[in-house]
Amino acid sequence: YGNTGLRFLGGAPIGCINLSGIPNKMPNMTIAIACDHAGLGLKTVLVEELKNREFEVIDLGTNSSDSVDYPDFGYAMAEAIGDGRAERGVLVCGSGIGISIAANRHPAVRAALIHDALGAKMARQHNDANVICFGGRMIGEDVANDCLSIFLDTPFEGGRHARRVGKLSNPA
């Protein structure tokens, strides 16, 4: 766009803060969020962003820098999705890899490890991801906030993707 250095994705600039402008969220959407010790700093920032956007937040920990096991927190967030306490989830560990693997073991979870705006958009549009995962040591706070906003504001396209997404929970 001109000489600003911004790229655009679907009409929204990539890499800018507050890409979505006016919050466009499902009424009363509840978001479960969890992390291990390596993700605590980023989780704290993301909880603040979610609350600023008036989402209901279920914070499943950890709330300490003491070493913990990421699978325990991935499983806890997956259970919140599975039992209907939350519609979407956010997970953070050091790399984002381990906690996303843990969450994806639950059949109700479609967790996507995200590093950029395009990934956040495609995870929702094509894969109907209901959990976004970040590496607290891998992504900056501003980019993570942008990705979270895109993830929460982007609808699933359905259509040809619906059949494929259905197979994720029902491997045959």
- Catalytic residue numbers, as ranges: 93, 126
Measured distance CA(60)–CA(74) in Å, rounded: 9
How many helices and strands (H and E) does the chain possess? 6, 7
What length does the chain have? 172
Task: With CA atoms as reference, report the closest residue to 151 among 114, 107, 99.
Answer: 114
What is the Cα–Cα distance from 7 to 37, expressed in whole angstroms? 34
| Contact residues for 158 (Cβ-Cβ < 8 A; gap 6+) | none
